[in-house]
Amino acid sequence: MKIFEKKYAFSLVEILITVSIISVCITLCMPALLLSYKKNATAVVLKDIYKELNITITNLTLRNGCAGDLVCKDLLTNFTNHLSSEYQINKTCIEKNGDCWNNIVYSDINKNNAHIVNYNTAGNNFVDSKDRIYNIEIIDASCNTDESENASENDTVPSRHKLKNVCGYITVDIDGNKNTNVFGIDVFKFVLTNTRNSYIYPYGGKYHNQYWRTHNTCEPEEGHFNGETCSGRIMEENWKINYFDK
């Protein structure tokens, strides 16, 4: 006499329910995963730009026999042209609205505060080989401007970290005007200094007079946001973006 074993299998209804549950889970998790990826990718690009600019400017000074000195041989005059010999520049931009930069770059993550920027100035803008847009603003060709953060009694700023030799600023749109054009999201700002081995310093960093913690900026979670200082927060938090979640 044969004994037949009863075999069990999922019914079509059970399979459909399971697939539906998985689909819902994916739908709920996907935005968070995509945001996490976007933030990590942005931080990686920003870190690479920081390193590339420091290396490029170091090589520029060495090639001109001016190790550690941007003032030597008047390198800051036509600085973009000097950089083009070391940096992979696709084009420099002419003075024309929209040729390189949009006219409006927002400082508020919610775009409530429109910071009008006239970055389209001849000789100060360029696009690199990865379509990232740069603006170089020289505010002091002698690099004697002091933008050091005032040290508290419990936090003495070492002299080697004081930003007493500021030459200007470098602002970069990492996606080339393709998306939001908001400081701290896809537009970031650095301080250009005449300091050996560290020519680029994040705007709003710990030793800058616009330090994001001291001035309560780059903190949308607290209702305070000036995206210009977010470069400093990203670097201080080990090249991570922790200040927006949507």
Name, in order, each residue with C-beta under 8 angstroms of 164's C-beta and a sequence gap of 6 or more. 144, 146, 148
Give pairs for 146-151: CB < 8 Å, separation 24+: 147/191, 147/208, 147/209, 147/210, 148/207, 148/208, 148/209, 149/206, 149/207, 149/208, 149/209, 149/211, 149/214, 150/209
Q: For the chain, what is the mean pLDDT?
A: 80
Q: Could you give the 3-state DSSP secondary structure of residue 172?
A: strand
What are the pLDDT digits (tens) for 84-125? 777 888 887 765 555 777 767 777 766 666 565 666 654 578
What are the pLDDT digits (tens) for 34-45? 778 888 999 999
**Residue 54 included in any domain:** yes
Q: What is the spatial distance between Cα 150 and Cα 162, in angstroms, rounded to a whole number?
A: 9
**Residue 101 included in any domain:** yes
As a whole-number percent, the residues of the chain with pLDDT over 90 amount to: 24
**Residue 4 included in any domain:** no
Q: What is the spatial distance between Cα 246 and Cα 226, in angstroms, rounded to a whole number?
A: 17
Output the pTM of the full model: 0.82
Q: How many domains does the chain have?
A: 1
Return the pLDDT at 197: 62
Mean pLDDT, rounded, for 58-80:
87
Return the pLDDT at 120: 62
What is the residue range of 28's domain?
Answer: 13-236
**Residue 241 included in any domain:** no
**Residue 228 included in any domain:** yes
